Amino acid sequence: MSISINKDELVQLLRNGEIEKFNNLRHFSEETPLDLTESDLNHMNIVGANLSRVDLSGSDLSKSEFESIDFNYSDLSSVNFSHTTIIESNFIEVILEGSLFNNACVVKSDFTEVDFNGINACGANLADADLSLAKNLMQAVYDTETIWPDDDLLPNDFEPQENVSFANFDDKDEYPEEQF
């Protein structure tokens, strides 16, 4: 006999700290990710949740602490991780396009095959994150407050530089309209 549980009930299990129950009741399919889109999981402390193959796009996970979380193969596009602490978690082959990691702290977490294009990492502490197999780090938005890991945890071709960050661009017009 299988128990049917809906999205709101699953999110409530996470909010209540019932992680083992969540892990046992969540739908798991390699073809169809679990839909937890636009979930409100801010100000949470979640340890050991299986969030692999989950669509959390548009969710608010800000000001939370996540430890030992499996986010592998999930859609985390446009997720707000601002001011979040992430410890010993896996982000293997996740979609992070448009996600916010402003002032987040990421400790001993794996970002294998993650595309950083369009991620905002201004002020993030990534000093202990494994970004060695991450892609497009030069396309991330970062600033002088962003703390990067040592070279052995960065891709060989990545050299963080203040002058290549999109975070420092002004919205002011640099060219008069008559030039176009």
Domain ranges within the chain, ordered by starting residue: 1-165
pLDDT tens digits for 61-103? 999 999 999 999 999 999 999 999 999 999 999 999 999 999 9
Residue-averaged pLDDT of the chain? 90
pLDDT at 137 over 60: yes
Q: Which fold does the domain 1-165 belong to in CATH?
A: Pectate Lyase C-like (2.160.20)
- The alpha carbon dihedral of 126, 77, 22, 64 has a sign of positive
Please state, in angstroms and rounded to a whole number, the distance separating the CA atoms of residues 35 and 8.
10
Query: 131, exposed or middle or buried, with CB in 10 Å at 0-12, 13-18, 19+?
Result: buried
